[in-house]
Amino acid sequence: MKAQQMWQKFISVCPEYQNQSYQAWSYGVVPDELARLTIEQVKTATASAYEEYAIENEALPEVGELNIILDANEEAVCITKTNKVSVVPFLEVSEEHAFKEGEGDRSLGYWREVHEAFFAKSYQQSGLVFHDNILVVCEEFEVIYK
């Protein structure tokens, strides 16, 4: 099902959201796996590089935002609602946040390893240099429809 189809089904059962907007997107790495973890409510958080919002001229996520999570084929899998957003240096991302991201063994060590590799590659593609104090946007969410 496409994002618009899921949205129509969602607002038919939750009409209080019909005037709210949403973003539809897939995770940047292993979108099917991370979408599955989101549907299963193992993944209740995500992180992104702060500077990339400015480069792409995008607004930071906000509490209360709705997102339709897509798989690798751009099929809608669920709708999430953002509950918390914070911006912290890379080395200050907490163990709790790493656990909520639900990936790998859910440890902070695993989180740092995979996110450093991802951010370093992304920064290089944008002409930036990754370092341990880049700002990271930490977002927590809940699945409200699947």
pLDDT band with cut points at 50, 70 and 90 for residue 80: very high
Beta partners for residue 47, in sequence order: 138
Predicted local confidence at residue 77, as pLDDT: 97
Per the DSSP assignment, residues forming a β-bridge with 45 are 140
Would you say residue 54 has pLDDT above 90?
no
Beta carbons within 8 Å of 120's beta carbon, 6+ residues apart: 130
pLDDT digits (tens, 9 = 90+) for 113-145: 999 999 999 999 989 999 999 999 999 999 999
β-pair partners for 70: 76
pTM attached to this predicted model = 0.92
Nearest to 140 by CA among 81, 77, 57, 52: 81
Residue 86 has pLDDT above 90, yes or no: yes
What single-letter DSSP state applies at residue 82? Answer: E
pLDDT of residue 105: 97
Distance CA 125, CA 59 (A): 20
| The pLDDT of residue 28 | 84
